[in-house]
Amino acid sequence: MARTLNQEAPSTLQREQLDESAVRKLALGAAGDLSPINAFIGGVAAQEVMKACSGKFTPLKQWLYFDALECLPEENEELALTEETCAPRGCRYDGQIAVFGSAFQEKLAGLKYFMVGAGAIGCELLKNFAMIGLAAGEGGNITVTDMDSIEKSNLNRQFLFRQGDVTKLKSETAALAIRKMNPSLHISAHQNRVGPETEHIYGHEFFSGLDGVVTALDNVEARMYVDRCCVRYQKPLLDSGTQGTKGHTQVIVPFLTESYGQDQGGTQNAFPMCTLKNFPHSILHTLQWARDEFEGLFKQTSEHVNQYLQDPQFVERTLKQGGAETLDILQGVYDSLGTRRPRDWADCVSWARCHWESCYRNNIQQLLHCFPSDKVTSSGLPFWSGPKRCPHPLIFNPNNTTHMDYIVASANLYAQTYGIKGTRDLGEIARTLQTVSVPDFTPQSSMRIHTTDEEMQDDKQGVDNSKLEELEVKLASPQSFGMSSMNPLEFEKSKQIAGKIIPAIATTTAAVVGLVCLELYKVIQGHKKMSSYRSSYINLAVPSCNLWEPTPARTHKVRYTARIQRALFIQLPLLKAYS
């Protein structure tokens, strides 16, 4: 029929060479109806409607062409997809069976997948999973985990939640909504953070039973941890993210593509610690210092306190690690529960004021005491030259907006970690500041400030064991502190709240999740060719959609061996010999 139509067409429309393979695929899939394709096209189309209504962003010119032919079987397509295998079964998945066949649908129904996060992307993923029938058969299961509760601000983009769900747990509410959408779906809801502290839950046994992992996270640190787990247990990973009208997807296939962590190119911890701590000289240094400061004050210490309060073996396990970091961890726990623990809001303001004094006056005075502004090096050159800029101690001024903004933000964050109600009333905070007593500070000549990371590392080798023994005694009984938990704060979440950044919009989320689920089709079928997979970046505002083949997994030859190569995902078992 296609040949006849081509011959009868006007000469200007005739094709010299007809792509019969493409025509055949189009004809065979004409009865198909794939939710991921609908999600992607729907997200793009909805954004175009918003452009027409609002006059914002650049509209799509003329037409859009999109296909995903690489989702079809890589080999023996004619044998795998026959009229019989693709015939309707009288079920809700007939549109998908028409494209991939009944055997694929049965395999899809029996899979076990782990989804981390149940926010905007998570809700859209679960909706698509319900529509395609993932884990909707015997033996199948989706495990979804998310610690957060539903907030009113979530409702405009997380469509599984309703007004009456506000304050409920995201994972449980999403699981209930999905079961209503597809009663056959098997789904388990958890409220755990995926990290080192939950490896007893999400460990070898858990990951070994999975067919794959999907992330719906909003920070790089969590993505990196999940990626390491997938590398360790050799599981495929589908990652995605959005920011406004922009979105990305990445597929990680064991032994075939590079991992998420490899793709980051080592940008984490790129700055020497001594530079960040004592000699920052660029805006990037100050930004990284601020992030490290935030996580040290409001996240890591709180997490250590919670582990101490909940795990009887925490102190013993930490002491076994040894090194200066052990002393820092245990001292931080003791200070947070004892000497530094606030009783009320006034104590939080006092802490913020004293911390400001320590960071922006005392530490700078100590630095200038060790390295005066006129100091010269052993070669006779000024110490404060080149990238090293001589700092100047600040004097706190309650009439300075920047100074007060710091007090307001840090006091409220500190109060939040302890569950104390704060305020942003500048008048009230100013009155509280008048009652704060700031300790006097005198620089110490015995204090040593490191100028290189090597000096800092050498200094960490020596640990005062008497202090460790003292802390072990003080931390012998968690119950003596009369506290059940603290509230660790996430930097990315706090930054979004402070900057009023819109983390996702529904159109971008729908389009991105559609692309993710197309990659899921390929992973489930076990595609082996790199050319079958696609990573992507979209910007619906422009609009732009870029898809490319993932970067291959890096390999290199094992020493003294010409034929064996070692890739990231390969595990080398250690065998114990018995005499």
Q: How far, in Å, are 82, 223, 224, 268, 283 from residue 264 at the CA level?
A: 43, 11, 9, 8, 21
The reply to whether 53 belongs to the active site is: no
* 8 A C-beta contact, residue 489 and residue 302: yes
* 8 A C-beta contact, residue 69 and residue 6: no
Per residue, the 3-state secondary structure of 452-477, as one string, reads CHHHHHHHHHCCCHHHHHHHHHHCCC
CB atoms within 10 A of CB 297: 19
274, 354, 359, 370: the catalytic one is: 274
| CA dist., res. 32 & res. 42, Å (int) | 16
- To 5 degrees, how large is the angle CA 323–CA 326–CA 331? 135
| CA dist., res. 50 & res. 53, Å (int) | 5
* 8 A C-beta contact, residue 417 and residue 487: yes
- To 5 degrees, how large is the angle CA 511–CA 515–CA 521? 145
Q: What is the separation of C-alpha 385 from the centre of its chain, rounded to a whole number of angstroms? A: 39
- Render 152-178 in DSSP notation, one character per residue: GGGTTT-TT--GGGTTSBHHHHHHHHH
For β-strands 237-243 and 565-567, DSSP reports them as unpaired
Count Cβ atoms within 10 A of the Cβ of residue 536 and give its class: 0-12 exposed, 13-18 middle, 19 or more buried. Answer: buried
| CA dist., res. 73 & res. 473, Å (int) | 64
Instruction: Give the three-state DSSP class for 244.
Output: coil
Residue 522 one-letter amino acid: K
Sign of torsion over alpha carbons 297, 302, 308, 311: negative
Instruction: Give the three-state DSSP class for 278.
Output: helix
- To 5 degrees, how large is the angle CA 204–CA 225–CA 564? 70
Q: What is the separation of C-alpha 80 from the centre of its chain, rounded to a whole number of angstroms? A: 38
* 8 A C-beta contact, residue 467 and residue 284: no
Q: Please tell me the total number of residues recorded for the chain in this structure.
A: 579
* 8 A C-beta contact, residue 551 and residue 522: no
Dihedral over alpha carbons 314, 317, 320, 323 (to 10 degrees): -50
Residue 317 one-letter amino acid: R
Look up residue 420 and give its two tokens: 């104390």
User: Minimal CA–CA distance to 126: which of 63, 182, 65, 191?
Assistant: 182
Cis peptide before 543 (omega within 30 of 0): yes
| CA dist., res. 420 & res. 168, Å (int) | 21
Catalytic residues: 274
